[in-house]
Structure 1
Amino acid sequence: MSLRQFEYALAVAEEGSVTAAAELLRVAQPSVSQQIRGLERELGVELFARTPTGLVPTTVGRAFLREAQAAVNAARRARATARAGAEELVGELVVAVQMGFGTRQLPGALGALRRRFPRVEVTVFEETSSAELERLCRRGVLDLALMAACERSPADAHHLGDEEFVVVAAAGHRLFGADRVELRDLEGEPWVRFDRDSALDGVLLNVLRNNDPTPTTVARVSQTATAVRWAAHGLGATLVPASAVPHGYEHLVRPVSPVVSQPVIAVLRSNAGPAETALLELLRQETWFEAASPSASLDERAPAIELSHST
């Protein structure tokens, strides 16, 4: 097996056809077909099934492609490290972010990274589950993961700061009679919640467990921006990291008392290269909420509830 075969198989899976994969790779179509057939013969399995909509990976094919992607990523990193000069770095950086965390901090850090290493291509995707992020980190698929701390957080994780959680509701809501919402006042509130296996939904359940252990759910969503917009239209309240509130909705936000915060960590792949190391340092320089250093005076703030979930 060769990296070229891996890349051809990944292209076929992405494009759904040999012809489209050949165009993407800028090679002749027979070359792609030959490489895929050779790979299947060597493995002794069928990687793709023909369907009316195109080529689709088989169950075995999907498992193989996950490992092939990891191998291709590792090869790209190795090439980038070998080609890196004093001021030049070429390659790809794969970053996974747990949904809702680092929404404001990551773009600034990536912008600074781009200015420092203009030829580095960054791929960023969101993931809701800490367990899945931890699994991807362990398999070496990711260069850097930005996530909430949990029971499975690696011992060598880097603590960046904390995300403060806020309540969002429609204008004129009963919760907005004060500058800060008391947790006990949330009992009976209908909620716009997140996917059941997400870290954000775990935070809400932890916050409410003493006052409202069975919260009323009016809707479940997958994106923080959607939750904020639906709450703004009066569907129900939602609880999100303060940095995840989209521009224009700040007037519908109230912090909670006691303060609710979640530690945010970065996990680097083993033998991290210069690009991911630089991104970590840039993330450290971003402004993060610190429960011990609130924006208001200490006399005006209640003690913080720091959550470390097990999702």
Structure 2
Amino acid sequence: MSLRQFEYALAIAEEGSVTAAAERLRVAQPSVSQQIRGLERDLGVQLFTRTPAGLVPTAVGHAFLREAEVAVSASRRATATARAGADELVGELTVAAQMGFGTRQLPRTLGALRRRYPRLEVTVFEEPSSAELERLCRRGVLDLALMAACERSPADAHHLGDEEFVVVLGAGHRLLAADRVEPRELEGEPWVRFDRDSALDSVLLNVLRDDDPTTAARVSQTATAVRWAAQGLGATLVPASAVPPGHEHLVRPVFPAVSQPVIAVLRHAAGPAETALLELLRRETWSEPAAESAATPESGSAAFSPVP
């Protein structure tokens, strides 16, 4: 068995066909088919089954592919580390952020990283579920993650600062005359909420506590929530850095203040690319902890929890 076979199997699982996988990998289709047949022969199992929708992994195939993904990621990181010199980093970096976190800071940081190391390939995505982020970290798929809570060791978890949450109101809303908004003042009004398994929806429920919020809509992106709130569909609660330009006049802080720590979690035995990204993130401006959250753990503690 070889890592190339692992990569071919992962490509087929993602594309749903040998032809599409071969095109993506820029290799001949017969070569991909031959490698997969050889892999299945060596393993003694069938990894894929043909359906009307295309090739899909079997039950044992799913289990194999999870481990293959970890092995391929580790190989790429090892290659990048070996090739890293004083002035050059090559390879791939996979970064994930809890939805709404670092919306301003992360793009600037990644832009600076790419300008410094133009041969470094970076894949970035937002993840609404904090549980899924934890799972991806445990599997070793992510090189760096930004999240509000983690149970990693002090060497892996770095407290960058805090994300303050703000409420976004529709144009002309009566509470825009106030400097801050207390959640009870919005009792009975509709909310633009996030998906039920989203960490952001959990923050809203925690803020409202005993109130059962009226749901005007559920969305999957912070920018969409802000724009819909701006049109008067309902209020929404988002991290301050997630507010798109042009909507600042519709934003008010929450009282009592609501914030969550921003934790950068590096994979174990982090390489030079992850270390360089962490140092750039440290240079960004992150909000200071609110007075009410003085008990937030400092950088270097073993675990961090969301601030209520």
Cross-structure match for 1:295 = none
Cross-structure match for 2:234 = 236
CA shift digits 1:43-85 (9 cap, x unpaired): 2332222223322223332332222111111101111111122
How far does residue 18 in structure 1 lie from its aligned partner after superposition?
1.2
Cross-structure match for 1:256 = 254
Q: 2:271 & 2:115 partners in 1: Cα distance?
A: 17
| TM-score (normalised: structure 1) | 0.90
8 Å contact from structure 1 (residues 202, 309) kept in 2: no
Cross-structure match for 2:270 = 272
8 Å contact from structure 2 (residues 76, 91) kept in 1: yes
CA shift digits 1:90-109 (9 cap, x unpaired): 10001111111111110011
Once the two structures are overlaid, the 10-residue window that deviates more, 98-107 or 256-265, is: 256-265
Q: 2:184 & 2:250 partners in 1: Cα distance?
A: 19
The alignment partner of 1:258 has SS state of: coil
CA shift digits 1:234-277 (9 cap, x unpaired): 11110000100112221211111122111110000111011101
Unaligned 5+ segments in structure 1 are 293-302
Aligned 1:21-60 pairs, distance under 5 A: 21-60=21-60
Unaligned 5+ segments in structure 2 are 297-304
Once the two structures are overlaid, the 10-residue window that deviates more, 15-24 or 198-207, is: 15-24
Cross-structure match for 2:186 = 186
Q: 1:31 corresponds to which letter in structure 2?
A: S
The alignment partner of 1:55 has SS state of: strand
Aligned 1:30-109 pairs, distance under 5 A: 30-109=30-109
Cross-structure match for 1:201 = 201
**Residues 159 and 19 of structure 1: is their aligned pair in 2 closer, same or farther, counting only changes over 3 Å?**
same
Q: 1:161 & 1:40 partners in 2: Cα distance?
A: 48
Q: Does 1:284 align with 2:282?
A: yes
Q: 2:120 & 2:269 partners in 1: Cα distance?
A: 18
The alignment partner of 1:181 has SS state of: coil
Q: 1:283 corresponds to which letter in structure 2?
A: L
Between the two proteins, the alignment pairs up a number of residues equal to 296
CA shift digits 1:17-60 (9 cap, x unpaired): 21222222222221111111121222233222222332222333
The alignment partner of 1:304 has SS state of: helix
| TM-score (normalised: structure 2) | 0.91
Q: 2:113 & 2:95 partners in 1: Cα distance?
A: 13
**Residues 305 and 187 of structure 1: is their aligned pair in 2 closer, same or farther, counting only changes over 3 Å?**
farther
The CA RMSD over aligned residues, in Å, is 1.8
Q: 2:170 corresponds to which letter in structure 1?
A: A
Q: Does 1:304 align with 2:292?
A: yes
Q: 2:123 & 2:111 partners in 1: Cα distance?
A: 13
Q: Does 1:153 align with 2:151?
A: yes
Q: 1:213 & 1:62 partners in 2: Cα distance?
A: 42
Q: 1:173 & 1:54 partners in 2: Cα distance?
A: 51
The alignment partner of 1:188 has SS state of: coil
Q: 1:183 & 1:225 partners in 2: Cα distance?
A: 21
CA shift digits 1:103-162 (9 cap, x unpaired): 11100110111122111100111111222111211121110011112xx43232100000
